Amino acid sequence: MTVAGAKAKLLPDGSAAAPADAPVEVQQAIWAANKIQDKPYKWGGGHAKIEDTGYDCSGTVSYALIHAGLLKSPLPSGPMMHWGARGRGHWITVFANGGHAFAVIAGLRLDTSSYTSRIASKRKYAKALERGPRWRPTRRPARGFRKRHPVGF
């Protein structure tokens, strides 16, 4: 599913609609992440095998990037600190430190942490507040994370 414009949209079922103006790789990353929205958090999940029963933080980010053709094999959060190009990307930004990784893709946060602000409605975004690989309705502080992006994105 796509929506007009350049920003992804969080849908009531917890999935995301990809922006029609985004490059196909960005759309593919969003659609791939939608496939794992019901999976539980699993430490190490998504590393030994890409199609897994659950995913950890870096396994979640790797899953989306691999299915978009932007990453060849899963990376743990530490090595993600050096992956791709420095800084924020136009379409995709990976935030990584030695213990956690998440991504912002076309304006939506893909994260296993349910960190959220008070503006997130529990009723409207109930799925997004669950633990595990999910699209999240709010940003989270980036302090302590290195920002990386796929070259050209």
C-beta of residue 39 within 8 angstroms of C-beta of residue 132:
yes
pLDDT of residue 137: 83
Place of tokens 């796929």: 150
pLDDT of residue 29: 98
pLDDT in 10s for each residue of the chain, 153 residues:
999 999 999 998 899 999 999 999 999 999 999 999 989 999 999 999 999 999 999 999 999 999 999 999 999 999 999 999 999 999 999 999 999 999 999 999 999 987 665 554 555 556 666 778 999 888 889 999 999 999 999
Residue 79 sits at φ, ψ, to 5 deg, of -65, -25
Q: Where are the domains of the chain?
A: 2-149
Provide the whole-model pTM.
0.92
Between the CA of residue 26 and those of 41, 55, 79, 117, 141, what are the distances in Å? 23, 20, 22, 26, 23
CATH of domain 2-149: 3.90.1720.10
CA distance 130 to 128: 6
pLDDT of residue 114: 73
C-beta of residue 36 within 8 angstroms of C-beta of residue 59:
no
